[in-house]
Amino acid sequence: MFVVGGESLIDLVPVSSAADAERVALAGGSPFNCAIALSKLGHETGFLCPISADQYGDLLLKPLAEAGVAVLLDERVDAPTTKAIVTFNDKMQASYVFERGADRAFTREGLIAALPRQVALYQIGGFCPILETDADVWRAVVSEAAARGATISIDINVREKLVDDEAGYRARLSDFLDMAHIVKLSEEDHEWLVPGQSIEAYAAELLKRPHCALVVVTLGEQGSRAFSRAGKGEAPIYAPPVFGDTVGAGDSLMAGILTWLSEADALGPDALAALNDEQLSAMLGFGAVVAGINCGRKGCQPPTRDEVDAVLAQ
């Protein structure tokens, strides 16, 4: 099973970029989105996050069930659902303000008990390093997943507005990066983490960490790049016929990359490290189609595998 651990939340999304635009409530959260995308692409997927007993919790459970994602923590919690207030710039690119709640209502024992016996892939959520008490618990979960044979991936997904202790956050993030075989980040993450450093130089630094064998960097409208210990690749975006917004684009791309790696029998550390230029570009191209189809819709609505195959066949 593929397991994604981390936050779920409700995105309160404006219907336009106008300051006074009406907002609609949509299920979201980067790990939540990635879990749904993985399942719709054909993987047995489990989601590891507490779900609130409130009405927004009901809203979160519906798309998980529709996508066939296993909710690994089946007992709902009293804490209110975490919320993200979304705004768009003139290019309809999203930014967020957060009100946290149920995504933190966990215990170390409860999370570890909910892990499946066999975990092929464990994806670390972006909120996990933000608070020290949370990070201590999630590190234990990641360690247990690795002990059960999982390849570990992380989507860094810096949420600067939630970071009150930058030095502490950087140290905790570094701990998670030391555990990961696959690291994904956006160019915005890169600029916040290492301003002034080239993407190539930072990727090389990441690849020197104990387990890292693949680095993926998304570049917005400029596509994406990838680096292994044996090669590097790049791919443009896939532009859908009608553009919706970018909510969940990175999460969909991540799911696409993990799907390509799984189907290429390249999820193991040695295989990841050996990916060559051609393979890396093919991997990114597949992920770009998954992300692009999602961008043709409003909010995060990842495609099914049939939808992806239909575009690839064109």
pLDDT bin (cut points 50, 70, 90) of residue 207 is very high
Residues 127, 103: contact at Cβ < 8 Å?
yes
pTM of the model: 0.93
Q: Is the pLDDT of residue 225 over 70?
A: yes
Question: What average pLDDT does this structure show over 24-45?
Answer: 95
* Rounded Cα gap, residues 79 and 50, in angstroms: 9
CA atoms within 13 A on the CB side of 141: 29
* Rounded Cα gap, residues 303 and 301, in angstroms: 7
pLDDT bin (cut points 50, 70, 90) of residue 11 is confident
* Rounded Cα gap, residues 51 and 103, in angstroms: 7
Question: What average pLDDT does this structure show over 4-11?
Answer: 94
For 142-179, the pLDDT digits (tens) are 999 999 999 999 999 998 889 999 999 999 999 999 99
| Helix, strand, or coil (residue 30) | helix
For 77-118, the pLDDT digits (tens) are 999 999 988 777 776 666 778 899 999 999 999 999 999 999
Q: Is the pLDDT of residue 300 over 90?
A: no
Per-residue pLDDT, 92: 64
Average pLDDT in the chain: 94
Question: What domains, with CATH codes, occur in the chain?
Answer: 2-7+29-81+102-312 (3.40.1190.20)
Question: What average pLDDT does this structure show over 222-249?
Answer: 94
